[in-house]
Structure 1
Amino acid sequence: MNGCDAGRMKQVAHFRESPLPLFPFGDGDEAVQAAPVNAAGRLPSYIGDHRQRLRERFRDTDGAGLAEYEVLEMVLFRAISRQDVKPLARRLLDSFGDLARVVSAPKARLMQVHGVGEAVVTELKLMEVVAQRMARSRVMQRPVLSSWQALLDYCHTVMSHAETEHFRILFLDRKNVLIADEEQAKGTVDHVPVYPREVVKRALELGATALILIHYVARHI
């Protein structure tokens, strides 16, 4: 073998991607280690291709064709760019039960799941804020009686996965239009303090003529 042939073989090997692992990642530390990258800094094709296929399926079906863990995978793509996120998506669902509970879980509990860091928490909490604001936009500045189901859906979105008691107040004007929605107090797992004087004071400040009081207890409104 001459020097030119050896140089070409060395160059080919230099750009070759790492092979697909013989066994899939398990639930241990291997599942959160960064995937090997090639010399050009790109993801191995088996991960890049998987992400591309998932995005194409999402576009083709408007998301309806994806399982919950696949939707969660797509959320995790932005937070974790250089590893297979499917094991982490499955661990999160195993830990909390479903996508809604994953997104609404407290930061401290999310951080207890192996592989979750600040970037993952940020993406999940961003999803939670988007969901809450979409639900809120359907009820604010609208008559309550004509959008009662939307109001119930909104309360369910913002409160139903909390792990402690909450007391929330919806302020209405004389036409029963929702003009403000405020969380008045957070409590413990079995108690929340409510101060009637503060409730009345806030209603007067807002010019509200009617109130809807919501006491959330043990995952039930």
Structure 2
Amino acid sequence: MHGDDSDERGFFSERHLAPPTAEKKGKAKPHFHGHRDRLRARFREGGAAALADYELLELLLFRSIPRADTKSLAKALLNRFGSFAEVLGAPEHLLREVNGIGDAVAIDIKVVAAAAARMAKGEIARRPVLGSWQQVIDYCRAAMAFEPREQFRILFLDKKNVLIADEVQQSGTVDHTPVYPREVVRRGLELSATAIILVHNHPSGDPSPSRADIDMTKTIIETARPLGITVHDHIIVGRNGHSSLKGMRLI
């Protein structure tokens, strides 16, 4: 029996196995892991102010792209769109044109942009809008400044100037949006609004009002006034800033 080659018995032994080689232990961490840790530490200690735009964008991309260096991609996005805010505001299809940005990454960027707009809207909810004017401007810019087409938006307010509703009334082309004064007033009456703020964007980036912007605003004011609705202002937003027709004494 002992000489039978078919015997499959093994054995116990105190003999130690050879230590695993470096290859078995796994490869060394990629160089970007240390870079990510350092960026997170700087953000934790100093907040966003401690980081350049491309570094903050890197932090955003870390979760979307866990196993690659994102510095070059962050810089490519900024080169393509111009600023951190413009990257967040860029349309999804244009984001995907940047090499290295797939569907999942593009969607993640737009989710962050939507979260920023929602947070900005929260700053003006349930409080008198006229006492939170900078928050109103910040919200309008977050919501519309980087849209590729013109949008006409209305903020409807109650008698205490608290926001009742925020609605996009019309979307147009790259340089024109249709506006119907009677529809603006009708919707205000439906919501029992006593005041409104008109907002639209200029995709060109220049927020300067046109003659048509001024004339249409005056038409809406004249249509709304007899029905007890006040037009507080018309704000025009663009990548390069904003304009207030009331602040410019145009209405």
TM-score calculated relative to the size of structure 1: 0.79
1:27 maps to what in 2? Answer: none
- CA distance, structure 1, for counterparts of residue 198 and residue 30 of structure 2: 54
Q: Which amino acid aligns with 1:161?
A: F
- CA distance, structure 2, for counterparts of residue 125 and residue 209 of structure 1: 34
The answer (yes or no) to whether the contact 2:129–2:162 under 8 Å persists in 1 is yes
The answer on 1:48 being equivalent to 2:58 is no
The answer (yes or no) to whether the contact 2:159–2:195 under 8 Å persists in 1 is yes
Counterpart mapping for 1:16-27 below 5 A: 16-17=26-27
- CA distance, structure 2, for counterparts of residue 215 and residue 12 of structure 1: 62
> Which ranges of 4 or more aligned residues in structure 1 deviate by more than 3 Å?
none
1:30 maps to what in 2? Answer: none
**Could you say what secondary structure the match of 2:48 adopts?**
coil
The structure whose Rg is larger is: 2
Listed as ranges, the gaps of 5+ residues in structure 2 are: 1-17, 208-235, 237-251
1:186 maps to what in 2? Answer: 171
**Could you say what secondary structure the match of 1:215 adopts?**
strand
2:4 maps to what in 1? Answer: none
Cα deviation code 1:159-205 (max 9, x no counterpart): 11122111010101122222111111111011111223332332122
Cα deviation code 1:83-134 (max 9, x no counterpart): 1111111100110111000011000110000000122112211211121112
- CA distance, structure 1, for counterparts of residue 200 and residue 111 of structure 2: 25
2:151 maps to what in 1? Answer: 166
1:81 maps to what in 2? Answer: 66
Q: Which amino acid aligns with 1:165?
A: E
- CA distance, structure 2, for counterparts of residue 82 and residue 68 of structure 1: 21
Corresponding residue to 1:111 among 90, 96, 121: 96
The answer (yes or no) to whether the contact 1:77–1:85 under 8 Å persists in 2 is yes
- CA distance, structure 2, for counterparts of residue 79 and residue 16 of structure 1: 24
- CA distance, structure 2, for counterparts of residue 45 and residue 190 of structure 1: 48
Q: Which amino acid aligns with 1:111?
A: R
Q: Which amino acid aligns with 2:135?
A: A
1:71 maps to what in 2? Answer: 56
- CA distance, structure 2, for counterparts of residue 100 and residue 215 of structure 1: 18
C-alpha displacement of 1:16: 4.8
- CA distance, structure 2, for counterparts of residue 17 and residue 163 of structure 1: 46
**Could you say what secondary structure the match of 1:87 adopts?**
helix
Counterpart mapping for 1:10-159 below 5 A: 11-17=21-27, 44-159=29-144
- CA distance, structure 1, for counterparts of residue 138 and residue 39 of structure 2: 29
Query: When you count helix as a share of all residues, which structure comes out higher?
Result: 1
The answer (yes or no) to whether the contact 1:140–1:180 under 8 Å persists in 2 is no
- CA distance, structure 2, for counterparts of residue 65 and residue 214 of structure 1: 33
- CA distance, structure 2, for counterparts of residue 216 and residue 55 of structure 1: 35
Computed over aligned residues only, the root mean square deviation of the Cα atoms, in angstroms, reads 1.9
Listed as ranges, the gaps of 5+ residues in structure 1 are: 1-6, 19-43
1:24 maps to what in 2? Answer: none
